[in-house]
């Protein structure tokens, strides 16, 4: 059994290790290791296409994570106020939303946005008859919207757990000490769930930064880093790609670990 | 059932001497009647306790005063004003929560200052700091202000919760089983401290507890609750000496009950005929119908335990002896009446001589100390 477990881990992590190792390969072939070098990192980081894709990914990840954190927090707070069956159903639907395959979300978002644009664009054209009307199209907006939509479920799940573990009497104590609802929210609820919001933000950022499938459908003419990697792989796997992959992996892991640490220290202090 | 007002003298019923009042206040949760037409007044400056078993509606009554529950029907008055829908944050009332509900992200001093800092216009910082320090001194935690909540022991957290409430000088302090989480010794200490504090501050305290000893030792007045209703209210002494029903006698202090059928005796006294055919006399304080099922209640300390029979004594066997210091508690068995509890004072035992388990002994009591009560 132990041997079996070992195999599972090897299969899981070997490809990743290979990528990381070959990103440090001095030679240009991905099949044989000819010496240690960081030249591919330098090359990747000086490639203007890579940098542009990286910038796009960063902007999309940041914006979608901010939007997801704000609206996810509001939704989680709203759910907390609901009771009975409605809440159970809403909770279940959130978990379903996270389980839905990326490809379905990608197609669904694409169709929804195209339909929406189909309605709005003629209206915009009517408003500005000179033919210079801004036309909505796929791009930053659709990327951010699609990622924010998905990440919101992540934020809601994290915050629901946190809110459920929070002592309700804390809010009552605040009200008892003359704080109106908004003051209670600002002085008690928000500080106590803030670690959850922060963790949700980091997870959302990571998700968006890594996502390929959803982005592929709604990116329009924009190129995110995963899309860039995908398109350059068709020209063969170079150590440069390995270097990019390794960097993305490192950033993601770092953010995930930070999120975990925040969540853990948050629960310790939040407990009675 | 007696009127809930029977303990309040007519002068006390004018709204000036009442800090709070329930008028037919009812709270319904679905099918559960958590408060069933409660009507009673809380006097300015008194220490009042709600005493009753779990689920009888004590917390519900308190939460209607605090503003966390709106009565389904009826009226809640604070200082003569109807406050049914007034939210908690607009009521000059503070509560000490059962699990303290201290804010974990704030220091001890910040917790205590919380209520003061909600006031508008904002109070002077130095003023707040001074009040916080004074509150900390009052609960005997001077210098603990900068500590984090999780660095405090259970008893200390309890004191912080108390300080956080009294620093606001509320008109009414509500305490929901504030001592339940403390160990026996600490609880005893805190009981005394709470009492002293209440006298010092002159704030009206309303305490919820299901610990009868706690209620008896601390309160000026106790409301005995059952099923969302107040069964009886009165001073600890009055409840102990003049319970209106077996339920109250059983809940307040210990008592022995002899069950049987009631009949009238001479001069307003009554008699109980036990199933074994014995007839016992006792006082009657509440109207009872002949042939009603009733209980004769005799407090353990009213029973005299002797080695030789005196007139009208009943023979028993000593089962168990527990030495309690100034008293000794005996469990004795009577052939027909079952087990009875007898409390013998140290002096009485010295003059009569002790009893050992297995001894044959005799019990007797003055008829005036036995009370015939409705069985409810
Ligand atoms: N929010 C609620 N929803 C439904 N039922 C409730 C609610 N709060 C209280 N109850 C019910 O109302 C009744 C009285 O409850 P309450 O909390 O006042 O009892 P209590 O006397 O304080 O009991 P305890 O000593 O166990 O704290 C109980 O039967 C309880 O189940
Ligand atoms: Mg309770």
Distance, CA of B126 to CA of B133 (rounded, Å): 11
Q: At what angle do helices A140-164 and A190-210 cross, to 10 degrees?
A: 140
- B65 and B137 share one domain: yes
**3-state secondary structure string, A45-65?**
HHCHHHHHHHHHHHHHHHHHH
Distance, CA of B168 to CA of B291 (rounded, Å): 56
Closest residue in chain A to residue B94, using alpha carbons only: A176
- B15 and B42 share one domain: yes
- B226 and B262 share one domain: no
Q: Tens of pLDDT along chain A (272 residues)?
A: 788 888 888 888 888 888 788 778 777 766 677 778 788 888 888 888 888 999 999 999 999 999 999 999 999 998 887 877 888 888 888 888 888 888 888 898 889 888 988 888 888 877 776 666 667 777 888 899 899 988 999 999 999 888 888 888 999 999 999 999 999 999 999 999 998 999 899 999 999 998 999 999 888 888 898 999 888 888 777 778 888 888 888 888 998 898 888 877 755 544 43
Partners of residue B115 in chain A, C-beta under 8 Å = 177-178
Atom of ligand 1 nearest to the CA of B53: 25
CB spacing of B103 vs A178 below 8 angstroms: no
Distance, CA of B95 to CA of B65 (rounded, Å): 10
Nearest protein Cα to ligand 1, atom 17: B59
Q: What is the biggest distance separating any 2 CA atoms in chain A, rounded to whole angstroms?
A: 73
Task: Provide the pLDDT for residue B319.
Answer: 93
Pocket test for ligand 1, best of B49, B53, B56 (most atoms within 8 A of CB): B56
| Higher per-residue confidence, B5 vs B364 | B364
Burial of B84 (0-12, 13-18, 19+ CB in 10 A): middle
Number of structural domains found in chain B: 2
What value of ipTM does the predicted structure carry?
0.82
CATH number at residue B66: 3.40.50.300
CATH number at residue B331: 2.40.50.100
- B105 and B191 share one domain: yes
How far does the CA of residue A183 sit from the closest CA of chain B (Å)? Answer: 8
Structure tokens at B150: 């999780």
- B220 and B197 share one domain: yes
Q: Is residue B249 part of a domain?
A: no
Taken in order B229, B235, B239, B245, the sign of the CA dihedral is: negative
Range of the domain at B268: 254-374
Residue that finishes a domain, picked among B208, B242, B276: B242
Q: Which of A1-5, A72-76, B102-106, B153-157 has the lowest average pLDDT?
A: A1-5
Pocket test for ligand 1, best of B29, B35, B64, B69 (most atoms within 8 A of CB): B29
Averaged pLDDT for residues B59-86 = 94
Q: Is residue B12 part of a domain?
A: yes
Q: Which residues pair with B207 in a beta bridge?
A: B49, B175
CB spacing of A176 vs B118 below 8 angstroms: no
Q: Which residues pair with B73 in a beta bridge?
A: B26
- B363 and B236 share one domain: no
Structure tokens at A58: 């960063």
pLDDT band at B134 (very low <50, low <70, confident <90, very high): very high
Q: Is residue B276 part of a domain?
A: yes
CATH number of A48-270: 1.10.3720.10
Q: Is residue B247 part of a domain?
A: no
Q: What angle do CA B106, B198, B104 make, to 5 degrees?
A: 10
Tell me the whole-structure pTM to 2 decimals.
0.80
Residue A169's nearest CA partner among B154, B63, B158, B228 is B63
Q: Which residues pair with B340 in a beta bridge?
A: B332
Q: What is the pLDDT of residues B193-210, one digit of tens each?
A: 899 989 988 999 999 998
pLDDT of B28 higher than 70: yes
What mean pLDDT is reported for chain B? 90
Task: Provide the pLDDT for residue A132.
Answer: 66
Distance, CA of B108 to CA of B150 (rounded, Å): 10
Distance, CA of B181 to CA of B149 (rounded, Å): 16
Assign residue B71 a region (left: φ > 0; alpha: ψ between -120 and 50; beta: otherwise): beta
Question: N- to C-terminal Cα distance for chain B?
Answer: 11
- B290 and B327 share one domain: yes
Question: Which residue among B87, B99, B105 places its CB closest to the CB of A169?
Answer: B99
- B359 and B225 share one domain: no
- B19 and B138 share one domain: yes
Q: What is the pLDDT of residues B250-288, one digit of tens each?
A: 989 899 999 999 999 888 889 999 998 999 999 998 888
DSSP 3-state assignment of B80? coil
Structure tokens at A9: 């881990």
**B317, B360 Cβ separation under 8 angstroms:** yes
pLDDT of B331 higher than 60: yes
Atom of ligand 1 nearest to the CA of B30: 4
**B135, B166 Cβ separation under 8 angstroms:** yes
Distance, CA of B298 to CA of B82 (rounded, Å): 44
Nearest protein Cα to ligand 1, atom 7: B29
DSSP B334-357: ETTTEEEEEEEEHHHHHHH----T
Task: Provide the pLDDT for residue B12.
Answer: 45
- B218 and B277 share one domain: no
Residue B297's nearest CA partner among B253, B263, B328, B332 is B253
**A170, B101 Cβ separation under 8 angstroms:** yes
Question: Which residue among B87, B88, B118 places its CB closest to the CB of A183?
Answer: B118
**3-state secondary structure string, A101-148?**
CHHHHHHHHHHHHHHHHHHHHHHHHHHCCCCCCCCCCCCHHHHHHHHH
- B290 and B232 share one domain: no
Residue A210's nearest CA partner among A263, A150, A124, A271 is A150
Residue that finishes a domain, picked among B242, B266, B288: B242
Q: Which residues line ligand 1 (CB under 6 A)?
A: B 29, 32, 34, 52, 54-60, 210
Structure tokens at B253: 């202090």
- B207 and B278 share one domain: no
Task: Provide the pLDDT for residue A83.
Answer: 78
Can you list the alpha helix ranges (DSSP code H) found in B22-100? 58-66
Residue numbers of B between 81 and 100 with CB closer than 8 Å to A: 87-90, 93-95, 97-99
Task: Provide the pLDDT for residue B6.
Answer: 41
Q: Is residue B92 part of a domain?
A: yes
Averaged pLDDT for residues B170-181 = 91
Distance, CA of B214 to CA of B49 (rounded, Å): 9
Q: Is residue B284 part of a domain?
A: yes
Residue that finishes a domain, picked among B179, B213, B242: B242
């Amino acid at each position: 059994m132990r041997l079996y477990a070992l195999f599972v881990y090897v299969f899981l992590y070997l490809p990743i290790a290979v990528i990381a190792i070959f990103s440090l390969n001095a030679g240009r072939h991905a099949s044989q290791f000819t010496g240690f070098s960081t030249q591919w990192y330098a090359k990747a980081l000086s490639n203007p296409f890579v940098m542009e894709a990286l910038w796009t990914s960063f902007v999309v990840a940041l914006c979608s994570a901010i939007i997801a954190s704000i609206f996810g927090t509001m939704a989680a707070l709203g759910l907390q106020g609901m009771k009975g069956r409605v809440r159970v159903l809403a909770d279940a639907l959130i978990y379903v939303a996270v389980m839905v395959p990326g490809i379905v979300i990608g197609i669904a978002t694409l169709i929804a946005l195209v339909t929406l644009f189909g309605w709005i664009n003629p209206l915009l054209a009517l408003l500005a008859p000179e033919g210079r009307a801004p036309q909505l199209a796929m791009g930053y907006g659709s990327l951010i919207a699609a990622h924010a939509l998905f990440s919101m479920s992540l934020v809601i799940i994290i915050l629901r757990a946190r809110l459920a573990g929070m002592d309700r009497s804390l809010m009552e104590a605040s009200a008892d000490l003359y704080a109106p609802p908004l003051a209670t929210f600002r002085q008690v609820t928000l500080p106590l769930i803030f670690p959850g919001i922060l963790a949700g933000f980091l997870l959302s950022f990571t998700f968006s930064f890594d996502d390929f499938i959803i982005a592929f459908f709604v990116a329009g003419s924009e190129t995110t880093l995963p899309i860039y990697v995908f398109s350059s792989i068709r020209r063969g796997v170079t150590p440069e790609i390995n270097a990019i992959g390794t960097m993305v992996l490192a950033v993601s892991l770092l953010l995930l670990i930070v999120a975990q640490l925040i969540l853990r220290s948050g629960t310790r202090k939040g407990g009675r | 059932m007696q009127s809930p007002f029977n303990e309040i003298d007519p002068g006390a019923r004018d709204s000036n001497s009442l800090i709070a009042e329930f008028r037919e206040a009812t709270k319904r949760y679905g099918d559960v009647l958590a408060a069933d037409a409660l009507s009673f007044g809380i006097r300015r400056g008194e220490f009042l306790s709600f005493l009753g078993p779990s689920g009888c509606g004590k917390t519900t009554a308190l939460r209607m005063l605090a503003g966390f529950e709106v009565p389904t029907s009826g009226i809640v008055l604070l200082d003569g004003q109807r406050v049914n829908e007034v939210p908690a944050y607009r009521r000059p009332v503070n509560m000490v929560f059962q699990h303290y509900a201290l804010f974990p992200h704030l220091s001890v001093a910040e917790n205590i200052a919380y209520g003061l800092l909600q006031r508008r216009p904002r109070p002077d910082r130095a003023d707040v700091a001074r009040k916080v320090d004074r509150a900390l001194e009052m609960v005997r935690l001077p210098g603990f202000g900068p500590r984090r909540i999780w660095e405090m022991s259970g008893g200390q957290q309890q004191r912080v919760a108390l300080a956080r409430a009294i620093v606001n000088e509320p008109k009414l302090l509500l305490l929901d089983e504030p001592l339940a989480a403390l160990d026996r010794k600490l609880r005893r200490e805190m009981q005394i401290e709470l009492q002293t504090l209440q006298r010092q501050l002159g704030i009206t305290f309303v305490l919820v507890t299901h610990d009868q000893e706690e209620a008896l030792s601390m309160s000026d007045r106790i409301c005995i609750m059952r099923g969302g209703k107040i069964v009886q209210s009165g001073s600890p002494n009055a409840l102990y000496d003049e319970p209106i029903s077996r339920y109250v006698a059983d809940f307040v202090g210990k008592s022995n009950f002899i069950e049987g059928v009631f009949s009238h005796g001479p001069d307003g006294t009554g008699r109980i005929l036990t199933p074994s055919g014995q007839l016992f006399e006792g006082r009657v304080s509440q109207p009872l119908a002949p042939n009603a099922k009733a209980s004769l209640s005799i407090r353990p300390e009213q029973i005299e335990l002797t080695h030789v029979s005196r007139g009208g004594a009943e023979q028993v066997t000593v089962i168990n002896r527990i030495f309690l210091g100034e008293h000794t508690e005996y469990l004795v068995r009577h052939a027909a009446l079952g087990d009875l509890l007898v409390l013998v004072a140290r002096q009485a035992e010295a003059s009569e001589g002790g009893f050992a388990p297995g001894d044959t002994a005799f019990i007797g009591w003055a008829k005036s100390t036995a009370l015939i009560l409705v069985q409810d």
